[in-house]
Amino acid sequence: MRSFSPRLAAKALWQMRIRKRPYVLSHGVNARCNLRCSFCQYWQEPGREMSKEEIFRMLDEASSFGIGVYNAWTAEPLLREDLPQILEHAKSRGLITGLVTNGLLLAKRAKELRDLDYLSVSVDGIKSYRELRGIGLENTLQGIRAAKRAGHEILINCVISSKNTGELEDLVHLAEKLGTWISFEPLHESAGISESVWRDLGIRDRSAHEKAVHRLMELKRSGAPIINSLTYLEMISTLKPKFKCHASDIILHVASDGSIENCRVQGQPLANVLGGLEEAWQASKKGREEIVRSCPGCLFFGYVENSLLYEFVPEVLRHYEWM
Ligand code: SF4
């Protein structure tokens, strides 16, 4: 884990609390995927993708706007041949870079990702992986090992569902064995996916779920490489969001076609960065505020932990161990 940088923290706080601008640009860098997971809507309606030149322009504007982190994700970023150039461009503009991938192409491409600072790989199960993703885990594990050899710092990202409740501890041990970090978040039953999928995957045995998450808290206390704060883990053990959402104060969420969305759940397009990033940020302000006001909440770890950090919750400041 990189050490805490007071200079970086001050820069982020200045940008978010004083200038009232986001610090992270979360970008759906492409629209296609090489998996067909039943619980994911991104691959089902692939839309337009921004060209490399459009992304470069967005990154230039993001840097001038004071954004400090560029995170490339959805649908599967490694399907983009020009991803290394995009990361290189982000770095050249002073941005910290992150990538979220299913890991299938990592073994082939890890060495190309020279300008990547933070790598997250989705691994939702060991025995259940095939059932969840429709493919065996071995390719992804090979990818993680190749990325480790190439010097990358890695976070395994696990979505908790009914299929893997009994495997969470094994996943922590897998992370220990691989020399990676691990994060957990509960499945979000989003709109646009059939009811039967949620009946199959949704967390229905609340007691088993609570017990499994409390076990994660014990493991975290005893030094396991779980990045989530204890405050967050306690919250997801009950599956009840208890936080004031600051997602849109912190993260500028840009979809693959350049649309600004409030967050990955509230995905209605509010403006488009192709007409200028700052203009789109201003134009989407009212829409973002209204969405946050009426939202019943979610439990995505990035939104919750960052919202708690934004409010200086001490335990989260001490124990949320990523970035
Ligand atoms: S709480 Fe609502 S508005 Fe905030 S990130 Fe979650 S879904 Fe989006």
Phi, psi of 103 (to 5 degrees): 85, -5
N residues, the chain: 323
% of the chain residues with pLDDT over 90 = 88
121/153 Cα distance (integer angstroms):
11
- The kind and range of the H/E element at 251 are strand 251-254
Closest C-alpha among 50, 111, 109, 53 to residue 79: 109
The rounded distance, in Å, linking the Cα atoms of 246 and 169 is: 30
pLDDT band at 1 (very low <50, low <70, confident <90, very high): low
Following DSSP, what letter does each residue of 128-169 receive, concatenated? SHHHHHSS-SHHHHHHHHHHHHTT--EEEEEEE-TTTGGGHH
Atom of ligand 1 nearest to the CA of 265: 7
Ligand 1 atom nearest to 303, measured from its CA: 5
Q: Identify the band that residue 252 occupies on the pLDDT scale cut at 50, 70 and 90.
A: very high
Q: Encode pLDDT of 70-90 as tens digits.
A: 999 999 999 999 999 999 999
- What is the rounded CA–CA span in Å between residue 183 and residue 176? 12
The pLDDT of residue 2: 53
- Interval between CA 304 and ligand 1 midpoint (Å): 9
Cβ neighbours of 10 (radius 10 Å): 10
pLDDT category at 140 given cuts 50, 70, 90 is very high
Q: Retrieve residue 105's tokens.
A: 């192409």
Give the pair of three-digit tokens for residue 109.
């491409």
Q: Tell me, what amino acid is at 61? A: E
Concatenate the DSSP letters of all residues of 279-313 into one string: HHHHHTHHHHHHHHHH------HHHHHHHHHHTT-
3-state secondary structure 56-78: HHHHHHHHHHCCCEEEEECCCHH
What spacing in Å lies between the alpha carbon of 263 and ligand 1's midpoint?
Answer: 6
Nearest to 26 by CA among 74, 70, 88: 70
Burial of 42 (0-12, 13-18, 19+ CB in 10 A): buried
What digits encode the pLDDT tens for the residues 269-316? 999 999 999 999 999 999 999 999 999 999 999 999 999 999 999 888
pTM comes to 0.95
User: Are the C-beta atoms of 306 and 250 separated by less than 8 Å?
Assistant: yes
Residue 54, token pair as written in the block: 């459009």
Q: How many CA atoms does the CB half-sphere of 230 hold within 13 Å?
A: 14
Each residue's pLDDT tens digit, 157-211: 999 999 999 999 999 999 999 999 999 999 999 888 889 999 999 999 999 999 9
Per-residue pLDDT, averaged over 241-245, amounts to 96
Which residues have CB under 6 Å of ligand 1? 245, 247, 262-263, 265-266, 291-292, 295, 297-298, 303
Closest C-alpha to ligand 1, atom 6: 298
